[in-house]
Structure 1
Amino acid sequence: MSSKAEKDQESVSYKVLLDENHALKSEVESLRASLTEAEELRRAISEGDLDALVIPGPEGKMVFTLDSADYAYRVLVETMNEGTATLACDGTILYCNRHFAELLGIPLPAIVGTSIYQFIAPESAIIFKVLLEHETGKEEINLQAEGGRSLPVYLSISLLETGEFPKSWCLVVTDLTEQKKNEEILANIETARKKEIHHRIKNNLQVISSLLDLQAEKFNDRGYVKDSEILEAFKVSQDRVLSMALIHEELHEGGEIDTLNFSPYLERLIKNLFHTYTLGDSSISLNLDLERNVFFDMDTAVPLGLIVNELVSNSLKYAFPGRNDGKIQIKLFSQEAGDKLNNEEELPGKGSRYTLIVSDNGIGIPQDIDFENSETLGLQLVSILVDQLEGEIELKRNKGTKFIIKFDSAANLL
């Protein structure tokens, strides 16, 4: 009895397993058919052999044509916040959306069929051409809108491969007008802040100069220190402070805030020194040969100004003892301009190598004095400042004194 029941149970279990096996086979066959259908559908879409899809939905089957897909894409393109356009290989605009036309301020029908190049600002023509040559890329450029208005945009360009045209491009244009306005506002705020800093530094340095002057006056009132080295030290220190204050004054009053137009500054500095050190019937002449529109940053301008201050004041104080006449000459030029000094053409030199020459026709520095290891503070300071500029200094002693200083700088020549 027990054996018969066990056999019946085994027979039922086998039948259940057989049914499950048939069900699994049917499901696998169904999945295989679905995959085959999906692959055929993918191939048909990619090869352009399909006109429509029938998609089941909650309200029954729906027909979705490729034309309707194109319509949905066009709605997306037309309502996006960026301007878009399609170009033929010669730059002809084949299509643009409404926003692109609004950016240019030109009716859309008047744009399609025209050349994109008439809407590229002249200063951006080369950049745009390079983007097309690379076939893809992103860059900030300027478009030329209605009335010649310059429109800053961020341009994204990519190559399109279509059957209709051998080569075409898709442009996506983002208006940067508001961003540029905000950047300009921030730049103006930063400029005002830096100018105020220069103004305060100048005022503080002038206060220090005034304190030195007052202290010198106190010593001057004491008979035993009149015309002594103490008074001279105060005067020299005052000149050094004023030479730095003058830089900050120029930066505060000028159009630039980070770089100094160095030649006008030198002219003011040297004239101040002449006013301070030439007295009575002295007729020491000044010859300035300074290259124009040379801009140095603070790291170059401050030490270079101090160098000129030391060398010119030394010439005025010591080069012409017992004489009422003499000549001091200062030259500043870039290396490229220096190579053309004998040419009558204008010197628009560009480069980062500069030469400063300070010379006089006075008694000169004795041969036995090594100016680079001098005991005088002024010449020591000159050597230190030239090292700070990572420059070179040379002294020529024939027919007076001539200091030649060469240095590198990331200055701009405009």
Structure 2
Amino acid sequence: MGDRCVEAVHGAHEGHVRGAGHGGQGDPHQSLGWRGPWPGALRDHRTRLVRDLPAVAHAGEGEIDLRRNDGGNVGDGGAVRDADHHRRRFREDVLLRVAPLTDTTGAISGVIGSGEDVTEGLRAERALEHRNLVLRAIRNVNQLIIREKNRDHLITSVCEILASMGYHGAWIGLIDPEGSLQAAAESGMGDAFSTLVERMRGGEIPSCASRALETGDAVEIEDPAVECGDCPVAVVDGRKSVLAMRLESEGQVRGVLVVSLPREFHRNPEETSLVLEVAGDIAFALRSIEIEEEKRRIEEDIFVSEAQLRAIFDSSEEIIFMKDLEGRYVQANEAFSRAFDLPLDRIVGSRDRDLFPEDEAAMIEEIDREILSSGRAHKSEDVLTVRGEVRIYRTTKVPIRDSRGEIIGLCGFADDNTEMRRAMDKLRESEERFRSLFEDSGEGIYFTTREGEIIDINPAGLALFGLDPDEISGINVNDLYLDPEVRCRFQEEIEARGFVKDFEVRFRRRDGQVIDCLLTSSVRTDADGNVIGYQGIIHDVTERRQVQAALEESLREKELLLREIHHRVKNNMQIICSMMRLQAGCIEDEELVDKMLATEQRIRSMAMVHDRLYQSSDLARIDLLEYLERLGQGVHRTFCPEEGGIRLEVEGDGVLLDITRAVPCGLILNELLTNSFKHAFPDGRPGTVRVDLRKDDDRVIVTVADDGVGIPEDVDPYTTGTLGMELIRTLVEQLDGRMDIDGTSGTRITIEFRAG
């Protein structure tokens, strides 16, 4: 535009502008009367002129800053902050210098001024200011990189620095090699950035960042609203330009940096270079943080590993120690201290000659020299004297090397194997004894699988089945069972209980002979408790079964014979009873008849015992209660042939008596029942006779009671000399029992004796 001069005259009623170098008509104004042409640069600023010229005229002189801004007074410099905004309103920057015009009286009649186009100067000034801000940002970023060791804090602080120094906004996205967003930070991007982050987490990378990641070059976008219309932050960028570049260090891409800058700096190589420098610094810092984090993780892992090793070292029951090249112990654990009953500070620094007898120490030193010279590990079982006791140690020693591979000592692990060795010796002795028992036993001993394969069988077992040792591999025990179903029952029972005892089996020998056996066996299990086979003893009972069968046959014959004897005795006694009854019928003496009938009843009571034994499955004992019922019924029929009159009641426990006790017991009860029926109810008096049988442990208690007239006062039942009472007392003594008599209210006689 060049320099221009313009004269403005201010009057009370009207004013006009005379201009040099421009023609055209001026625009009228309501407040001041202006006429004449407006220079092109001034036309954009006429409102400012109308406002500020009067003040300058009255002040005497001054400047009006007509650079592109919304404010500023005369001489204030009109600070420029939003160049893009003012570029939309004004085309050029003008600095107008004015002075008042006076008339002859000295009164101000107007102003005169000159205008200067300062557009390029201001642009250079803004560029310098922006570059200085960016350089300060780079400096601040570098300072931040030095002190910040947290990745998220770093990228957040970098964005804040960039947004406050030269850029309108900035954001960083860290992306892994698979394209997933790891972290993000922003400053000056507003709420729209949250939407952008959500999209990036879903795998949708904005176009500027995607292009920067792919090409490796800086991506410059002049108008984001046009080129990035679908990006959430494009509206935020507005009429600003965007610069995006990837964060790359040591050939590894770690993410992208995107900044929003004034459009006047778009496609400025120097600007791009500065941002690339910042991006490189950020990538380097991220790599450094990764290295530090990895170092910290390694250090933590080393610490944990050392702590774990120390815990193992200290808590191990195995002796652990380290020696230097001179044979001195440099470390030892608590197990070493316990084994030697020495504190660790006494062990560390000592040598083997301080701990073991000289010959043993010399042997250990020789082994150590071999390990240190060969560089190879060594295993041995050492017999050493510790605290005066001979112990056996299973020892492993390995050389220790430094970072250069040089041997600097050795490490040893020793396990006290004394008890294990003794146990193994005992086990070996036990196995030898078992093998001797196995080989020499007269009973068959076997080991088989569940499927029946014979694992081992002793000579007695081979002889039992008629087998040779070389035939075992071709025989399955299932083939030896006479009945295969028995094998199934054997397996079911042994696996349910874990063992069987005296399980009866019939086998067929190799020669076809059938043998009877008893198996006493148990299951064999693996480490998990699963049944894998059976083991046990085979006892041949064939001969015993044959003898048993012969004895049983003989016993059956004897039972038949004994049963026949009881039958014959009973028949003979009944014949005697019949003969006595017939004889009584021929006797006229009633007293003699009564005696014969009483004797007959006694014989019948004995015959009844033999009859019960004959009919019983047990030829040695009878059921006493059942016997008493039949005996009582017989006596009752004898003395009470008609219904009514005297009743008989029999009750009690089941008691088994052998014949030696049943016969005298029967005779006693016969006498007692006879006395009750004959004497307790004179003159046809009705009444009841009760028989009660009880067993108390091994004692039998029999009570015969009636509700008759009782025993006369002048009769002592214990001393009376009647045949019946004499017989009762004698039989009670024979049974080693006792008798109680109560005749106060009826008669009650109790007999007590042992059951057997």
TM over 0.5: yes
SS in 2 for 1:267: helix
Q: Is the 8 A contact 1:199 1:252 kept in 2?
A: yes
Q: Taking structure 1 as reference, are residues 397 and 324 closer, same or farther at Cα in structure 2, changes over 3 Å only?
A: closer
Deviations 1:309-341 (A, max 9, x none): 000011110101123311100000111xxxxxx
**Distance in structure 1 (CA, Å) of the matches to 2:732 and 2:486:** 63
Secondary structure of 1:371 counterpart = coil
Matching residue of 2:574: 206
Alpha-carbon separation, structure 2, partners of 1:327 and 1:309: 16
In the alignment, which of 745, 749, 753 is matched to residue 399 of structure 1? 745
Q: Distance in 1 between matches of 2:721 and 2:753?
A: 24
Provide the C-alpha distance between the structure 2 equivalents of 1:171 and 1:273, rounded to a whole number of angstroms: 62
Q: 2:552 aligns with which of 171, 178, 184?
A: 184
Is 1:329 the equivalent of 2:690? Answer: yes
> 5 Å matches for 1:190-269?
190-220=558-588, 225=589, 227=590, 229-269=591-631
Structure 1 residue aligned with 2:712: 366
Counterpart of 2:670 (choices 309, 318, 327) is 309
Alpha-carbon distance, 1:114 to partner:
7.2
Tell me the SS of whatever aligns to 1:219.
coil
Deviation of the 1:207 alpha carbon = 1.8
Which SS does the other structure have where 1:327 is aligned? strand
Structure 2 residues without counterparts, runs of 5 or longer: 1-427, 433-453, 468-474, 508-514, 523-533
Partner letter of residue 230 of structure 1? Answer: L
State the SS of the aligned residue for 1:102.
Answer: coil
Letter in 2 for 1:398: T
Structure 1 residues 112 and 186: CA distance shift in structure 2, 3 A: closer
Q: 1:171 and 2:555 equivalent?
A: no
- Number of aligned pairs? 283
1:399 partner letter: S
Given that residues 490 and 503 in structure 2 are in contact (C-alpha distance below 8 angstroms), is that contact kept between their aligned partners in structure 1?
no
2:607 is matched by which residue type in structure 1?
A
Which residue of 658, 663, 672 maps to 1:297? 658
Q: Return the offset for 1:277.
A: 0.6
- Between 1 and 2, higher relative CO (CA 8 Å, sep ≥ 6) is seen in 1
- Deviation string 1:95-119 (CA, Å, 9 cap, x unpaired) is x9849952674587x7998763659
Distance 1:173 1:82 in 2: 15
Which one has the bigger helix percentage? 1
Amino acid aligned to 2:690: Q
* Aligned amino acid, residue 733 of structure 2: D
Q: Kindly tell me: are residues 100 and 184 of structure 1, through their superposed partners in 2, closer, same or farther at Cα, counting changes over 3 Å? A: farther
- Aligned-partner SS, 1:364: coil
Distance 2:700 2:517 in 1: 39
CA shift for structure 1 position 265: 1.4
Secondary structure (helix, strand or coil) at the match of 2:684 reads coil
Between structure 1 and structure 2, the one with the greater Rg is 2
TM-superposed CA distance for 1:46, in Å, is 7.8
The letter for the 2-side match of 1:207 is I
The CA deviation at 1:78 is 2.9
Cα offsets for 1:222-256 (capped at 9, x unmatched): xxx2x2x2111100000000110111111112222
2:586 partner letter: K
Shift of 1:77: 2.1
For residue 313 of structure 1, what is the amino acid of its counterpart?
Answer: T
Residue in 2 that maps onto 1:375: 721
Q: Check the 8 A contact 2:639/2:678 in 1, yes or no.
A: yes
Instruction: Note the alpha carbon deviations across 1:330-353, whole angstroms, 9 max, x for none.
Output: 000111xxxxxxxxxxxxxxx311
What per-residue deviation string (whole Å, max 9, x for no partner) do you get for residues 341-376 of structure 1?
Answer: xxxxxxxxxx31111000000111123322222111
Q: 1:77–1:97: 8 Å Cα contact kept in structure 2?
A: no
1:258 partner amino acid: A
Deviations 1:184-240 (A, max 9, x none): 3222212111101101111111122122122212213xxxx2x2x211110000000
- For 1:105 and 1:246, the matched residues in 2 are separated by 52
Q: Does 1:116 align with 2:494?
A: yes
Q: Please, which runs of 5 or more residues in structure 1 have no aligned partner?
A: 1-44, 50-69, 84-95, 129-140, 159-167, 336-350
Counterpart contact for 1:82–1:172, Cα < 8 Å: no
Supply the distance in 2 between the matched residues of 1:333 and 1:287 (Cα, whole angstroms). 14
Matches of 2:633 and 2:706, distance apart in 1: 16
* Superposed CA offset, 1:137-194 (max 9, x none): xxxx454899xxxx98556799xxxxxxxxx974132245544433332222121111
Higher mean C-alpha deviation, range 362-371 or range 394-403:
362-371
Note closer, same or farther for the CA distance 1:82–1:363 as it changes in structure 2 (3 Å cut).
farther
The alignment's TM-score, normalised by the length of structure 1, stands at 0.59
**1:283 pairs with 2:626:** no
Q: Which structure 2 residues correspond to residues 140-159 of structure 1 after superposition, within 5 A?
A: 141=502, 143=504
Aligned partner of residue 369 in structure 1, secondary structure: coil
User: In structure 2, how many angstroms separate the alpha carbons of the residues matched to 1:48 and 1:357?
Assistant: 68
Give the 3 Å change call, closer, same or farther, for CA 281–352 of structure 1 in structure 2. closer
Please tell me the residue identity of whatever aligns with 2:740: E
Distance 1:117 1:188 in 2: 39
TM-score with structure 2 setting the length: 0.33
Distance 1:100-1:232 versus aligned 2 partners, 3 A rule: farther
Partner of 1:23: none
Runs of 4+ in 1 over 6 A off after TM superposition: 45-49, 70-73, 110-115, 155-158
> Kindly tell me: are residues 111 and 258 of structure 1, through their superposed partners in 2, closer, same or farther at Cα, counting changes over 3 Å?
closer
Structure 1 residues 185 and 100, CA gap change in structure 2 (3 angstroms): farther
Corresponding residue to 1:80 among 464, 475, 480: 464
Given that residues 360 and 402 in structure 1 are in contact (C-alpha distance below 8 angstroms), is that contact kept between their aligned partners in structure 2? yes
Instruction: Report the residue type matching 1:271 in the other structure.
Output: Q
Aligned to 2:481: 102
Structure 1 pair 274/170, CA: closer, same or farther in 2 (3 Å)?
same
Q: Which amino acid aligns with 1:78?
A: L
Report the Cα distance in structure 2 between the residues aligned to 1:308 and 1:197, rounded to whole angstroms.
24
Instruction: Confirm or deny that 1:319 pairs with 2:677.
Output: no
CA distance in 2, matches of 1:405, 1:249: 24
1:55-74 alignment, distance < 5 Å: 74=458
